[in-house]
C-alpha cells in the first residue's frame, strides 16, 4: 500500500454490507488500512460485527455497525435513516463515498430440485435487495463515489448445483452495467467483482472444510489453490481507491485463474 493511495482515501466513508465475516470482513478491514472509515452491516451476529468494528478502530479509523436484512426491501427506509443518523453523529457529514453490496448467502441444489421458496430468497437478497438498497441509498452517496457489486465466477463457468445462485449473480452483472451508465453523470463508478471459490463459511464452509472439494478447486485453478478472503478484500479496497477512478462498468474476476 502506498502513502499516495492512503492520502487520497483519507476521510472517506464506506458501507460494506455483510461485513461481519468472510469477504465483507476482509474488505472492511482492508479499507480501514487504506484510511477509509466503515459502516459495517450484519444480519444476525452482532458480536461478530462488533469485533470487526473493534478491528477497524484498532487501525485508527472510525466505524459503526448497523443491522440489515438485505432481502427485506420494506426495511430499507429504516436502514437509510440509520445511515443518515450515523453519518451525522459519527462523522458530521451527510454523504458517504463507497458502497460494497456484498451481503448474501449461498445455495446448492440441482436445477431439477430447486424449490420456489429458495429461488425467491436468492432473488430477494442477491438481486432485488441490491437493486433497491442501492436505489434507496442514492441520495446519500456522494457525487464521485464508487459502488462495487459482488458477483461470482459461476457466471462464467458452470458447476452443477449452482443454477439459481449463478442466475442472480448474472443479473447483478447486467444491472451493474446499467448503474454505471445511469450514475455516470454524477461521477459514480460502478463495477462488479466476481470471486472464484473461496475458503469461508459460505455454503456451510464447503470449499474450506471439504478436502475433496478443496482439492478439486485447486486442480482447476491456475495458481494451484483455493482462494482466501485476503485474496479478495485488498482487491476491492484497491478498486475503490482513486488509483482506479477511470474504471467503471467492468466485471473483474478474482479467481486465481479458475477454469481458464
Report the pLDDT value the prediction gives residue 95, as an integer from 0 to 100: 98
Portion of the chain with pLDDT greater than 90, in percent: 84
Residues 80-99 pLDDT 10s:
999 999 999 999 999 999 99
Sheet with 189-195, strands from edge to edge, namely 63-67, 37-42, 13-16, 96-101, 141-150, 189-195, 251-254
- CATH number for 3-251: choose from 1.25.10.10, 3.40.190.10, 3.40.1440.60, 3.40.50.720: 3.40.50.720
pLDDT band, residue 5 (cuts 50/70/90):
very low
pLDDT band, residue 105 (cuts 50/70/90):
confident
pLDDT band, residue 216 (cuts 50/70/90):
confident
Catalytic residue positions? Answer: 165
Task: Tell whether the model's pLDDT for residue 124 goes beyond 60.
Answer: yes
| CB proximity list for 15: less than 8 A, separation 6 or greater | 38, 39, 41, 83, 96, 98, 99, 100, 137
Query: Minimal CA–CA distance to 52: which of 224, 233, 219?
Result: 233
**DSSP tag of 91:** I
Residues 23-34 pLDDT 10s:
999 999 999 999
Mean pLDDT in residue range 148-165: 96
pLDDT band, residue 7 (cuts 50/70/90):
very low
Buried b (16+ CB within 10 A) or exposed e, 230-251: ebbbbbbbebbbeebeeebeeb
Rg for the chain (alpha carbons), in Å? 17
Q: Checking DSSP bridges between strand 251-254 and strand 96-101, what pairing results, if any?
A: unpaired
pLDDT band, residue 115 (cuts 50/70/90):
very high
Mean pLDDT in residue range 214-229: 91
pLDDT band, residue 4 (cuts 50/70/90):
very low
Report the pLDDT value the prediction gives residue 213, as an integer from 0 to 100: 77
Specify the pTM.
0.93
Report the pLDDT value the prediction gives residue 2, as an integer from 0 to 100: 43
Amino acid at each position: 500500500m502506498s502513502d499516495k493511495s492512503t492520502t487520497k482515501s483519507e476521510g472517506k466513508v464506506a458501507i460494506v454490507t455483510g461485513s461481519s465475516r468472510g469477504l465483507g470482513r476482509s474488505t472492511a478491514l482492508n479499507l480501514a488500512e487504506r484510511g477509509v472509515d466503515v459502516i459495517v452491516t450484519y444480519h444476525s451476529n452482532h458480536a461478530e460485527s462488533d469485533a470487526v468494528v473493534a478491528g477497524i478502530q484498532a487501525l485508527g479509523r472510525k466505524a459503526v455497525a448497523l443491522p440489515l436484512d438485505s432481502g427485506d426491501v420494506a426495511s430499507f427506509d429504516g436502514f437509510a435513516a440509520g445511515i443518515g443518523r450515523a453519518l451525522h453523529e459519527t462523522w458530521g457529514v451527510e454523504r458517504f463515498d463507497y458502497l460494497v453490496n456484498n451481503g448474501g448467502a449461498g445455495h446448492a441444489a440441482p436445477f431439477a430440485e430447486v424449490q420456489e421458496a429458495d429461488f425467491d430468497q436468492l432473488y430477494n437478497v442477491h438481486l432485488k435487495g441490491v437493486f433497491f438498497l442501492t436505489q434507496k441509498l442514492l441520495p446519500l452517496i456522494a457525487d464521485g463515489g464508487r459502488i462495487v457489486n459482488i458477483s461470482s465466477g459461476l457466471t462464467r463457468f458452470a458447476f452443477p448445483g449452482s443454477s439459481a445462485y449463478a442466475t442472480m449473480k448474472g443479473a447483478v452483472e447486467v444491472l451493474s452495467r446499467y448503474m454505471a451508465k445511469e450514475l455516470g453523470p454524477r461521477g459514480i463508478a460502478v463495477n462488479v467483482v466476481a470471486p472464484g471459490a473461496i475458503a469461508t463459511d459460505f455454503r456451510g464452509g464447503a470449499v474450506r472444510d471439504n478436502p475433496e472439494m478443496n482439492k478439486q478447486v485447486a486442480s482447476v485453478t491456475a495458481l494451484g489453490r483455493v482462494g482466501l478472503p485476503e485474496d479478495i478484500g485488498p482487491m476491492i479496497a484497491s478498486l475503490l481507491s482513486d488509483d482506479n477512478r477511470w474504471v467503471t462498468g467492468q466485471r473483474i474476476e478474482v479467481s486465481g485463474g479458475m477454469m481458464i
